[in-house]
Structure 1
Amino acid sequence: MEVHNPSATSVSDVTVSDHLPPSFHYAAGSGLIGLGSAAAQPIEPETSGGDLIFHIGEIPHGETAHLLYRVRIGANAREGPQENLAIASGVFPSGERTTTAPARAAVTVSAGVFSTRQVLVGRVFVDTNGNGQFDSSDRPAPGVRLYLSNGQSVVTDSAGMYNFPSLADGAQVVSLDPVTVPPGYALTDGGRLAGKSWTRLLRTPVGGGALLRQNFALVSTRKTQPGNDLAKSDPQPPPSATPLPDASSLKEPAAKSDAPPMAAGTYEVATTETVAPVKPGEVVIVSPAPNSVVMTPGLQLQVRVALNWTAKLEVNGEEISQQNIGVRSLDHKNQVSTFTFVGISLRPGPNRVRVTPISPDGVRGQAQNISYLGRGPARRLEIVSEKSEIQSGGSDSTMVRVKAFDQWGNPAADGQVGIESSLGQLQRSGEKPSEISVPPSNLAAQGDAPNTAASRQTVVQLVGGEAVVRLTGSGAPGEAKLRAQTGEIEAQGQVRITTEQRSTIMVGFAEMSFGKGIPEVGLRGETGNYRNRVSFFYNGRLPGNNMLTLAYDTQRPINRTAGRDRLFQLDPLDRVYPLFGDSSTRFEAAQSNSKLYARVDHKRSYAMFGDFEADMEAPLLGYARKLTGVKAHLENSRGDFVTVTGARPDTSFARDVFPAGSLGIMQLSNGEILPGSENVVLEVRDRRNPEVIVSRE
């Protein structure tokens, strides 16, 4: 929740009352409250039945309080949309109590354990003791990829764990990708013939949906001791393979110095450097260089005068106090005095700095006039990527830099910038894998993240007028459109994600069922005594430097041009939140609303059948819809391209224009909008210059 105080005065005794739906229970210890940019602090509410009362306290004018907490859904929760209602109240300095309008949030409760959907969890690890179980002596295998027969894949986290949070009923096949297994290791067979394969077949229990588990144990194929460092024995591992952690490779932290820190005061030390002498009455600016841009929050200026002389500093006509001198250095060997002024505030743009030497008798010497540039707020953004192309599959990445400039063309003052990408994953510098911001379009077709723009945006702090993020390739090829924004200023860029050049992999199965007790018949309310299914995923090279991606599943519904078969993922209200204790990353390599997905890539050109985005963008006309059909894209090395698409959508592009100045509900001309397929764009345009977009959401 966010509680904003837009008034001109502070509001005290602020409380938030939240009425939860039946069988929704507050999770003790989960409450956090943050005011403005301050760090969040724990907060616990008063509970009374289904009501929670949070005592926030005082909110200054213009500030926003951020309240975050968790609730658990009980077994008696009702299915369907469940709504909680929150109201905030506070007291003005006049003693008047004010109350906000109610705020509502809805959560759709599904069938839960009675659902036929399945969850697959597991771990990939090095079985050092050969017992086939993961225990304290074993080591996790991070960065290993696993595939399903529908093209979905997952990369294990630092603990070797993975999960597929929402799978359909029926048999499931999961396969370890041999390319990503660290060199010198192989999959153990467990003494079984079926264990010699990289693939495992998991059967659905008769009762339908369930939690499926599948671990993969690796063993060393080398004749050396298992404790040897892997990186030393194989100096050139494949780029997609991740070296396993080893206790022997860990180094002890450097010993801390026992010398106590120097306290403030005056010290006499022997100088070893030789500096040019300074004539009495003159002053030398040591650092920074004149007319340079000051990158630190405060100017640190070092000046040098003759021994026993002092320096007077003025910035923009105002004298700087001698208390701003952080370091005084009296060099008797070279007969100079050096003063370091610290914490000097500068205004944005040019700043006039005047340094005057003062003799021991108070006589002014020859002053030096210089100029320094202070950093102003951002007026322009620029996106620069180290690579223009990266490969798909999650094994390739590039660093993306967002540079902010002020009105003088210098690096802008540090602030925050939001970065989002239409494909791939954005990761902050030094961020853990669990914090990767994953676009919904790159996740499994079941969807496990909210389908909102906020979920795709990564907020990064500008340092020195620059923010750095890492863009990792998505599961399928495409064009990653980058967008950076701070305030009303934005910039756009793009990185092409090409097909992963990898060795061939194929995952699939075929099955037939006979009899009256076929589980799928009862689960889906069907009739008959015979069922069959074929499902496979293929990715590999073709002659002529071509790559083929092929997926087929007889259980998928046939793509039609009417009804809810237009849906390209689960309704966002039915999305799955993976809470299985790991931070693995999932990819979708063959997304199709049909039984078939096929794609052939040749350099920058490709032809495909499956789900795709319509490439129709123009200043006053655009078509933003996912479609299932045929798409051919021909592009040369200069970037010239021709794209031809063919599909049969049952809804068309529509643009509704509403004049400003009206207040009320605006009726769309085409109200049949399907979540997860169609996109709704809200644009505000200048009424005198319609080609100018004021805002776009």
Structure 2
Amino acid sequence: MRLGVGAQGGSGVNSAQAVSGSLASNRASAAVQVVGGVFDSKAYLIGKVFADCNGNGVQDPEEPGVPGVRIYLEDGTYAVTDEQGKYSLYGLIPRLHVAKVDASTLPAGTRLEVLGNRNALDANSAFVDLTNGELHKTDFGLAGCPAGLREQIEARRQALKTPSEILQLSRTLFSENNTHLTATDARTAPASGAIQLPGAAPGPAGNTSPVAPLAMASGMAGITPFAGSPAPLGAVADPGGPYAPQAQGVPLPLNVPARAPLQEDSTALPTTVAVPATRAAAVDESDVADFRALRQKLRTEALEQKLPALDASVAFVNLSDGEVLGIAQTPVQVKGPLGTHFELTVNGTAVPRAQVGKMSSLEKTQVVAWEYIGVNLAPGRNRLAVRALDEFGTERGSAAITVLAPGELAHILIEAPPQAVADAATAVTVTIRLRDVNDLPVSARTPVTLSTTLGRWQRAAEAGSVDSGPSGNQVFVTGGALRLLLLPPAQPGKAELGATSGVVKATAAVEFTPNLRPLIGVGLVAGTLNLRNLSPSALQPAQSGDVFEREIRSVSRSFDGGKDDVGARTALFLKGKVLGSTLLTLAYDSDKPSDTTLFRDIQPDQFYPVYGDSSARGFDAQSTGKLYVMVQNGTNYVLYGDYSTQSDNPARQLTQYARALNGGKGHWQFGSLAVDGFASDTSSTQSVIEFRANGTSGPFQLDLRGVTNSQQ
């Protein structure tokens, strides 16, 4: 197939069939999408957010750009500025738009200033006039440079560990397979998420890749995360919403340095000091593989120093009655009167004298102490008894204690908060505990595989605790417990956490609720009035390519015999907290083109892919219809827009009804009871055709009556 310069864009179907006399082959067909490439009529928007220290309205060389600031358009499309404060959006409809800065992502103590007449006296927003194929620039400036601003900007830059667009694009250019997977029906696409560059490796929604795709849960329309108040890092660490650790009250940083590993409290069981893979060669984990053994070793070395404080009664020195040991082997220190020797038994079995590694005595206090090395214990309760005998075999005293020793791993406990905020940035603390059949901690170094249906375990490079590889998330738990970080998803939902070690498995549920933020709104009302003296019959009809921007079509009317016409358009986007604990997401466009690809469906390589910035781009409240409404309280929600009827509920595995629709959908859950419903006005119906088995794989004749488009 050849395409010339005059080829019209759009989709078409090419078919081929071989015919020889009365014989004919089957007819093969292929759908072809013709696109304009980099010479597209769509428009481009670039710009920057900078600190206007001298107030002259332009960025001077010494004035820094501000990273982590989110800029919204009236359709829910947004961009998050890169480390230089730059941003860009592509594939925009050439018409009037409005760009607005999300004030919650600005540095603390700052405000914007009016830079031009297109701000319309509102420094937080600006009209954007786009024409066909235009590269338009819209900047925003902070008013002055208050104290501490440069420190905040530097902190945001340090939090950005994002490769440039050129590097991310090169992954596609040099990859073996750079094809894109697209949904067969646009209505199955998520309403909220982030745009991924071609070739960009999927990563957590934290700081590994700010263009990581955000997966949807159960076909439910998503909620991008937002902060309840301005945050230190703005939207740096999260392409789907600003960094908001205060939303959960967890004062843990997103990135935990290796020198400050997550540990249990000093009164609890010690945990593993995990080492990032890049530093594995520098630290020998075997030296710190068992903290309890190390502690007991230190106690043994200090036995001589303890003698002056010991009396001559028969007793155990380093063990106490009812103590829980970390491993099933331990040194045993005993003491008694000078001039005696000891007999030690474990569960009635004598410990040979060959295991005595040290004998110490002190004439001043008339005390003698022995240390038995490597005394083996049985899993569970162990009775240790010691007798002190003089040289004639006469017992001079005795003592007995019971200690608990762990056995093999029997079950795993996962401790996680029942609810957390789905902000894709605030780390949730999860504790993994290993227990034996007697519910004792298993302190031996044990490999554990982690899993989660929502969110992402933090990587070793981020938290120094989890190694993420092709086989899954692997950790080593030492001391019987380990605390980890889980990065939440961007969309609310119920996550199932899993931990597996061999045949032992455990699960726990965490309900991620929407992150409530202050209400933000961006919109416009536009109108046109054409008054002509010429009769329409004297004018040649204009084509769609003859104009500089898309005309208002949906709401328009002609009068005076066609000489005059008037049109109007309203578009708005709202998102934020209403009625106390409810999150509202709304988008409406009275003149939304039905033949236009939504921003969520745009492949970045369809346009010129490098605009001199590495900003993150995303979308919210996008739907094929003119109206999108989502009202959510916890995990309960009601929406009007695009959705999929398919559910991942195991109870509906045999009763699935998979359709991509535009209409209303709701979900309500109370305890173990969940109710889902949907409604849509559609002219299409589902047809199920059953074929009688005949021992072959076909061909089979389809009943196409009532089918209007055989391609679907």
Q: TM-score, normalised by structure 1?
A: 0.50
Scaled by the length of structure 2, the TM-score of the pair is: 0.49
The structure carrying a bigger strand percent of its residues is 1
Structure number with the bigger relative contact order (C-alpha 8 A, sep ≥ 6) is: 2
**Which one has the largest radius of gyration?**
2
Question: Comparing both structures, which one devotes a greater share of its residues to helix?
Answer: 2
